[in-house]
Amino acid sequence: MKKTMIGASLLLSAVFPGVALAAKGGNGGSGGGGGPATGVITVADAEYAGTTTATVNPGGTDVYVFVQCYKPDFGGEYVYAAYFPVDANNQAQVGPLWSTLWLDGDASCQAQEGYFTRNGFGKWVVAATTTFRVTDSSAG
């Protein structure tokens, strides 16, 4: 499975260089099938090209945080997408927050806690969603 997922990750990386390898899903909430989200995710605002920490609940084995960023606001230019694995402390290190499409400036981001069904090749199931901002302190 990892070899196949690496190929998929390389394809996504060509479009969004920040895309990390996504793998097998585990436990979590519904949310993706029209039902209510059953988890909680928090992500602190961050600086451009930096990192931030996502904290998820319930978390668990094979849970990921999926981040998408838009510039200048939601509905704007899509500039970033990446998956980050959740560790045993139910946290994911998110970043670095930049891409070849996003050379500078602020962005609005959405983070989702979720997992993949069917050993990483199925549907992305969302347990929780939140938003956060990325600011570029060097932009004038």
pLDDT, residue 140, reads 57
pLDDT, residue 9, reads 37
pLDDT, residue 104, reads 87
Sorted by where each starts, the structural domains of the chain and their CATH numbers stand as: 2-135 (2.60.40.10)
pLDDT, residue 22, reads 34
* Contact by Cβ (8 Å): 93, 123: no
pLDDT, residue 92, reads 98
Contacts for 37 with CB less than 8 Å, ≥ 6 apart? 29, 30, 31, 126, 127, 128, 129
Backbone φ, ψ for residue 5 (5° rounding): -65, -35
Backbone φ, ψ for residue 119 (5° rounding): 55, 40
- Quote the tokens at residue 104: 């500078």
Blockwise average pLDDT, block size 10, the chain, 140 residues: 34 40 34 58 97 95 95 79 97 96 91 87 93 85
SS3 assignment for 46-63? EECCCCEEEEEECCCCCC
